[in-house]
Every structure is written in C-alpha cells, then in structure tokens.
Amino acid sequence: MNTSNLSSHAGDSAAITRVALTQWQAVDNDLVVGSGDVSTRPDGRLFLSIDVWQDAVFDQLAAAMLATLRRPLYTVVDENDSDLMSRWARAGFTTRRREWEYLVPTDPGSTGLHAVAPPPDITIVPAGHAADEPLRAVDRVIRDEVEATVGWQDMPVENLRGADGDTIVDRSKYVAAAQSDRYVGLLRVVQVTRLPRIGLIAVREDQHRRGIARAMLAHTLGALHTRGITTASAEVKESNAAATALFEGIGARRVNSNLELVLR
C-alpha cells in the first residue's frame, strides 16, 4: 500500500492511497473524497481520470499520480468545463487536439442521403452480417495505413482493443463495404447510451474518393431511422477536413467539443 499526505492548500489534507495498479483514492476522516484512474489505450498511451469535488483534493490526487507514472500522460476534457480545464492546467497539462461532437439526423429526407448508392462494384454489408476474416483483414490494412501517416493516436477514443488485443471487439457493430471477395471499408456504430455513436468510418487508401464512406453512412443512418432512432452522434477531429465536410454536408449539428490534453 502506497500512502502519502499531500497538502495543496493550508488546512486541506487528505490521505492519498494507491489502492490498485491503476487506481488511487483520497480519504478524509474515513470518507472517500476522491478517486483517480489511469487506463492504457491501444496505442500504449496512458489516460488519466480524476473524480473529486474539491480543487485541493484534485491537486493532491494529481500530484500522487504524476509522481509514479511515466510520461507523456493524457486526459480528455469537455471544453465547456472551465473548472476541470483549470484543474488539469494547474497540473501542467496543455491542449493537444480538439474533437467536435456532432448530432447527426438519421432521416434520409433530412440528410439528403436517400438517393446515395455505393459504386457499382461495391456492396454494403449490414451490421451483424460481416464475415469475420475479411473484416479483420480490412481492419489490419487500414490500421497499417493510418499508422504510417497520422498514427492511431490521432484516431477517435473508441478505437479500443479487447483483453487479448483483438481490434474487432464485437463484429455485430460493423457495417462493411465489400468488393468482390474482399472488404475495402468499414463503419462501426455503438450504442453506449440511448444515442448511437458512429465511432469509426474508414476506407482503404486505394478506394478513397469513390463515395464509399458516404454510402456506408447512408446505409447506417437509414437503418437507424427504420428502427425509429432519429439522431446519432459522432466525434470528428478538428483538423479532419474530409470528415467534417462529410458530416456537415448531411446536416449534422455541432453541439460540443472535447479537448485532449497532454503532459510531456
């Protein structure tokens, strides 16, 4: 057990205990007054989360965690949460990138996707029907292509791995674009709350600019609309002009932004 008493403000002190390899707790008068967690992303980066009410306890937890973790370290913050932004800034974190959060209508009449069809040599495979090996093959190809350019660390948060490192955690979440005996694109939609989230749209480099991503999106949103779901969500990196144009071109509404912060 690793315990320290770190005071950020005069008269304010809590016992900070590392209760597990990835978890810390702040205890004051036998009450848990804060907790901190660290998680490892698929690309190996460490992301921090601290849940407290008081600034002083946040500073204590942050100091204890930063003292034992390798750098760089990352966290994600709602840009509108100025208090939390200030807390991480005091710990030395700075902004690395911004992601826009969009609300996306599913009605083909609103999106203008009612007449969108895939190229003649492409078939859209519905969610839950993608074959295992072709899906994994296109996932590997696209991951290699992205890693060779911007790198997976610049992809959305939801690009997670299973416990065994599997990058296709749940095949039923994927729509695919099939070309002959191979897949050339994939789209993942997950429902973390009541609002489905489009977590990934990707197409092989040799198939770019053919309208495949737009066709997969048209199919996915149309299927959600048929189920009575009127709105989905998506996150787009601020510098991703193609994805921004794709979503804003179908009437998606920007509602929020998240900042990825880093401590190097």
- pLDDT tens-place string over residues 88-116: 999 999 999 999 999 999 999 999 999 99
* CA angle, 243 then 245 then 249, to 5°: 120
pLDDT of residue 148: 84
**Max Cα-Cα span within the chain:** 71
Decide if pLDDT at 193 tops 60: yes
| pLDDT, tens digit, 9 for 90 and up, residues 132-175 | 999 999 999 998 998 887 665 555 544 555 555 567 878 999 99
**Structural domains for the chain:** 2-98 (3.40.630.30), 101-257 (3.40.630.30)
Helices 241-248 and 212-226 cross at an angle (nearest 10°) of: 40
Q: Which residue in 189, 152, 197, 153 sits closest to 171, CA to CA?
A: 189
Contact by Cβ (8 Å): 141, 204? yes
pTM for this predicted structure = 0.79
Contact by Cβ (8 Å): 41, 34? no
The better pLDDT of the pair 7, 105 is held by: 105
Q: What percentage of the chain carries pLDDT values higher than 70?
A: 88
Q: Which residues contact 255 (CB under 8 A, 6 or more apart)?
A: 101, 102, 103
E-strand spans in the chain? 2-9, 12-20, 23-28, 31-40, 46-52, 73-78, 94-105, 123-125, 174-179, 182-191, 196-203, 231-237, 253-263
